[in-house]
Amino acid sequence: MEREEEESKKMEIDLSLKIDSDDDDEQVEEIEDHDQVKEDEKEEVHEATPGEIEDDSSVIQLSLQDNTKTKELSALEMEMESMKEENKVLRKVVEQTMKDYYDLQTKFSVIQENNIKRKDHTLSLSLQDNNATTSGEGPSRLIHEIFSKNIERNPSPLPQNNIDHDSISESDLGLSLRLQTSTCEKDNIEENKEAGKREQLASFETVQNKFQRVHELPAGITTHAAAYSPPNRKARVSVRARCETATMNDGCQWRKYGQKIAKGNPCPRAYYRCTVATGCPVRKQVQRCIDDMSILITTYEGTHNHPLPVGATAMASTASAATSFMLLDSSNPNSDYGYTTQQTFNNPYINSNTFHHSLNQSSNIRNINPNDPSQGIVLDLTNNNNLNEPRHFSTGGSSSSTSTDQHRFSWMQNKYNQQSSTSSSANIAMNNFYKPLEIHDRSWKSDQESNNSNNNNVTAIASDPKFRLAVAAAISSLMNKESNNNNTSNN
DNA sequence: CGGTTTTGACCCGCGC
DNA sequence: GCGCGGGTCAAAACCG
């Protein structure tokens, strides 16, 4: 409850700041207008005095006009002075509010820090079409349909406040969230398939029950949270996306400072640090997914100490939405998320789609990778309809279960040959939601240059209102659900 | 020449 | 205490 209050305070402050600053701007404009009026009137006065004097009466008239105009002028000056004073006061209020806001933010982060220490959560957020495995329909259409339904029913510009959650199940949305404690990872590795399947069923029921308890949604996600979030909170967000290049172009400037071959994955893990501002603590790790080399796992750690470049803001806002959820949820010691799911879905490589595959087809669970680079939030931007049928970058390769090694090394070979082949382009083009990601090979400068001709697809994905609505709705719904659960349990 | 990448060495935490 | 593995450092190489 405290958490929610603090969050709502933050929002209120945020809004009030906006209003204040807007008012401030208006005031300034008003003052400028007054200045303009004053100037105009001065001109008028100036024009009137040199007028031709034909007789005494006209002289008297003019002098009277002068007197009234002077009075008006002095009145306007007084008004201006008072407005200036008011402006000063308003500025002080804004400054004070800003100070309070940052104080609150700092306090909030300290509280979160303490809670995080107690419980290390891993949250995976998958946005994919679980029902489109055969039809080939992408998640964008599904999301569009779902939101269209709700918009039809409630033509509000904020659909996340009006989602009828009874009509949208998790499977309908193709959207799932899981939260887990990382301490149980090892236990999960030991589980056998049969036990795993039973756990999956239990987990699935739990997840469904959780989603059925969803209520109204707060609009508590701010887009600037990632750029200005408290520096002492080490947010960690992983993004899984199909990308055939060395790294995704997320709009930020990165410098590579290391590379390692991690155990269990022949693909090297690259380490980057943000160089947009000196001393920025943000790091990112980039590694190919062992099961599908076309998937690039980018893990962001830390928060930027500088305003993000325009191109990076959308991505950061999406990640921050997820981070906000993690922060909020982790502050709640009573949160019961993931107690069952964590036993089966402790691997971020096993996303909800794999989960549904396992359920529906009784197929194998993918191997747990202990070298999971993504303790934290996983934003899954892949359409894993063909998880059991990995994509190949080598030309002419066939997708068979025995070609795993060929699949892996075909990517390695292609990496040093040419980044895009016709087959890979065609493969990725099959995905009707996530387009091929922009090449980001050498430096940020080249990216900036190429941004003019190519789309920054990560940004585009994150900027997609449907995508953002879906993320916001999912996170908000869970946040609010949890708060409602607490309310009902308290009553 | 300055910025970036590469790569082996080093540090540190963790498990046995 | 030792070994392993992940993360970082820093010197050399590379590039525009």
Say what the pLDDT of residue A313 is: 64
Say what the pLDDT of residue A396 is: 31
User: Within 7 Å: CB of A255 and strand B?
Assistant: yes
| Separation of alpha carbons A338 and A471, rounded Å | 19
User: Within 7 Å: CB of A102 and strand B?
Assistant: no
The strand pair at A121-127 and A268-274 is best described as unpaired
Structural tokens at position A15: 């809004």
User: Within 7 Å: CB of A106 and strand B?
Assistant: no
Say what the pLDDT of residue A263 is: 82
At residue A223, φ and ψ (nearest 5 deg) are -80, -20
Q: Element (H or E) spanning A84, and its range?
A: helix A56-118
Say if residues A328 and A263 touch (Cβ distance below 8 Å): no
Task: Give residues with Cβ within 8 angstroms of A138, minimum separation 6.
Answer: A129, A132, A383, A431, A432, A433
Say what the pLDDT of residue A141 is: 42
CA A176 to chain centre: 16
Q: Which nucleotide is nearest to A186 (CA to C1')?
A: B15
User: Within 7 Å: CB of A212 and strand C?
Assistant: no
User: Within 7 Å: CB of A445 and strand C?
Assistant: no
| Separation of alpha carbons A449 and A458, rounded Å | 17
Nearest residue to A262 (alpha-carbon basis) of A300, A301, A242, A290: A290
Say if residues A225 and A320 touch (Cβ distance below 8 Å): yes
Say what the pLDDT of residue A246 is: 76
Distance in Å from C4's C1' to A207's CA comes to 37
| Separation of alpha carbons A186 and A57, rounded Å | 103
- Within residues 273-302 of protein chain A, the ones with CB less than 7 A from nucleic strand C are 283, 285
User: Within 7 Å: CB of A442 and strand C?
Assistant: yes
| Separation of alpha carbons A381 and A350, rounded Å | 13
Nearest protein residue to nucleotide B5, judged by CA and C1' positions? A256
| Bases along strand B below 7 A from a protein CB | 4-9
Structural tokens at position A109: 């982060």
CA A225 to chain centre: 9
| Bases along strand C below 7 A from a protein CB | 4-10, 16
Distance in Å from C4's C1' to A290's CA comes to 21
Say if residues A178 and A325 touch (Cβ distance below 8 Å): no
Q: Which nucleotide is nearest to A370 (CA to C1')?
A: C5
Total-model pTM: 0.40
| Separation of alpha carbons A220 and A144, rounded Å | 22
The strand pair at A377-381 and A254-261 is best described as unpaired
Task: Give residues with Cβ within 8 angstroms of A233, minimum separation 6.
Answer: A109, A112, A113, A116, A303, A327
The DSSP secondary structure of A253-280, one letter per residue, reads: -EEEEEEEE-TT-SSEEEEEEE-SSTT-
Distance in Å from B16's C1' to A238's CA comes to 31
User: Within 7 Å: CB of A275 and strand B?
Assistant: yes
Nearest protein residue to nucleotide C8, judged by CA and C1' positions? A258
Nearest residue to A220 (alpha-carbon basis) of A160, A274, A275: A160
Measured on CA atoms in the order A136, A458, A428, A407, is the torsion positive or negative?
negative
Low-confidence ranges of chain A (pLDDT < 50): 1-55, 116-233, 325-375, 385-463, 472-491
Task: Give residues with Cβ within 8 angstroms of A347, minimum separation 6.
Answer: A188, A366, A368, A369, A372
User: Within 7 Å: CB of A271 and strand C?
Assistant: yes
Tens digit of pLDDT for each residue in A232-279? 345 678 888 887 777 777 778 888 999 988 888 888 899 998 888 877
Nearest protein residue to nucleotide C15, judged by CA and C1' positions? A442
Q: Which residues pair with A285 in a beta bridge?
A: A271, A299
| Separation of alpha carbons A116 and A125, rounded Å | 19
| Separation of alpha carbons A12 and A328, rounded Å | 17
User: Within 7 Å: CB of A228 and strand B?
Assistant: no
Say what the pLDDT of residue A234 is: 59
Tens digit of pLDDT for each residue in A92-126? 877 777 777 767 776 766 666 555 444 444 444 44
- Within residues 357-386 of protein chain A, the ones with CB less than 7 A from nucleic strand C are 371, 373
Distance in Å from C9's C1' to A184's CA comes to 33
Length of chain A: 491
- Within residues 402-461 of protein chain A, the ones with CB less than 7 A from nucleic strand B are 442-444
Nearest residue to A371 (alpha-carbon basis) of A442, A292, A268: A268
| Separation of alpha carbons A458 and A373, rounded Å | 20
Say if residues A208 and A163 touch (Cβ distance below 8 Å): no
For chain A, the straight-line distance linking the first and the last C-alpha, in angstroms and rounded, comes to: 13
User: Within 7 Å: CB of A236 and strand C?
Assistant: no
Q: Which nucleotide is nearest to A246 (CA to C1')?
A: B5
